[in-house]
Amino acid sequence: MRFLIVALSLLLAAPAQAQKVQRLKASKETVQWGWLDPKEPPKLTIDSGDLVSIETWYHALDQIQPGTSMEKIVELRKANPGGGPHSLTGPVYVNRAEPGDVLEVRIRRIVPKESGFNFNLPGKEFPTIGALQEDFPEGFVKYFKIDWTKKTTEFKPGITVDLRPFPGILAVGVDPKDPAPDRFKKDGKVSTIAPWKNGSNMDLNELVEGSTFYVPVFNKGGLIWVGDAHMRQGNSELNLTALEGAFEEIVLQPIVRKDMKLEWPRAETPTHWITMGFDEDLYKAFKIAAKEMVSFLSKEKGLTMPEAYSLASIIGDCRVTQVVDFRKGVHCMIPKANFK
């Protein structure tokens, strides 16, 4: 009943193009572990502008639960060579989405499940997975109770963490030209570890409820996946993980945009436009995001390229998205308040 009430309220509040609300629950049939597979059959088909409510699981097909030991977490991390630890629900097929289009994905609602966790893997076994692994040879895991009524959790007595849930992974189907090394590819599948032009493991903490994600389409139907639910994350995701969790539902509204062309994903919040860049080299990731910012200001805001370069230096704010994935991420924030 609660879902029906929420769905009805979202439908009434949606733009005119939203015709339906559909539900995709997490199950062994709808969740994949650590890989994006372009051959995986769609689990749901929707029209452009429809709302879809998606449930997600905790990492490793819901196997990391409160009380799971570090030894078990290490075992699970080794159990899927090349693949990510992430549980992804999907894919969702969007009618009329074709390669070369852009999908505008509006994040309408996020409701987290009741627990979360953070861990770093032992540096003595995983020396490159985490920013400061040389200082932390042993693994560490901490579990949290999510209080969604107060939208907080307690780190320990006297330390409260406010919650800003967002999907660490929001992806469309894989780019066939993704240059990921062979260890992150298998039978046409691409690991969820590396963010790329199709989104995937971006870990962009601005993709909260009320934001919009723009992503180029590489496969017919778009093929939307979502997972790696984060309850809170600082920029850089320092120790490898955020406050990880799962969603009772994340409500998305995908809209096919045939009037847009993008090479790299972008995002929009009520206060900012956001450009992104991903590369193994953090400085190269920064340059991609910065060039995208200058290009956005020129093409979308009518500035000459020198003017865009100048304004980006004055008001643009580039931040390290994450440094712990195979590809690093940088996002550049452009405040809307500076434009009439």
**Helices 282-301 and 305-315, axial angle in degrees (round to 10):** 120
276 and 221 in a single domain? The answer is: no
pLDDT given at position 39 = 96
Q: Of the residues 228, 258, 288, which one is the last residue of a structural domain?
A: 258
- Name the pTM for this structure: 0.93
327 and 211 in a single domain? The answer is: no
Q: How many domains does the chain have?
A: 2
Q: What is the band of 6 on the pLDDT scale with cuts at 50, 70, 90?
A: very low
278 and 246 in a single domain? The answer is: no
Encode pLDDT of 311-322 as tens digits: 999 999 999 999
Q: Of the residues 204, 229, 258, which one is the last residue of a structural domain?
A: 258
Q: For residue 304, give its domain range.
A: 272-338
Amino acid identity of residue 258, one-letter, is K
pLDDT given at position 20 = 85
Rounded distance, CA 317 to CA 259, Å? Answer: 28
Encode pLDDT of 211-255 as tens digits: 999 999 999 999 999 999 999 999 999 999 999 999 999 999 999
185 and 296 in a single domain? The answer is: no
Task: Return the CATH number at 185.
Answer: 2.60.120.580
Encode pLDDT of 24-78 as tens digits: 999 999 999 999 999 999 999 999 999 999 999 999 999 999 999 999 999 999 9
Rounded distance, CA 249 to CA 3, Å? Answer: 9
**Beta carbons of 236 and 323 less than 8 angstroms apart:** yes
Cβ atoms within 10 Å of 89's Cβ, excluding its own: 25
Encode pLDDT of 128-182 as tens digits: 999 999 999 999 999 999 999 999 999 999 999 999 999 999 999 999 999 999 9
245 and 307 in a single domain? The answer is: no
Q: What is the band of 107 on the pLDDT scale with cuts at 50, 70, 90?
A: very high
Task: Return the CATH number at 282.
Answer: 3.10.28.20
208 and 284 in a single domain? The answer is: no
**Beta carbons of 265 and 274 less than 8 angstroms apart:** no
18 and 129 in a single domain? The answer is: yes
In a domain, 300, yes or no: yes
In a domain, 267, yes or no: no
Decide: residue 135, CB within 10 A, 0-12 exposed, 13-18 middle, 19+ buried: exposed
pLDDT given at position 19 = 63
Q: Of the residues 230, 258, 286, which one is the last residue of a structural domain?
A: 258
204 and 334 in a single domain? The answer is: no
pLDDT given at position 3 = 43
- Selection from 299, 267, 247 nearest residue 103 by Cα: 267
Average pLDDT value for the chain: 95
57 and 155 in a single domain? The answer is: yes
Residue whose entry in the numeric block shows the structure tokens 């003017």: 307
Asked whether the predicted pLDDT for residue 275 surpasses 60, the reply is: yes
205 and 312 in a single domain? The answer is: no
Alpha-carbon torsion (225, 194, 68, 76), positive or negative: positive
211 and 322 in a single domain? The answer is: no
Asked whether the predicted pLDDT for residue 7 surpasses 80, the reply is: no
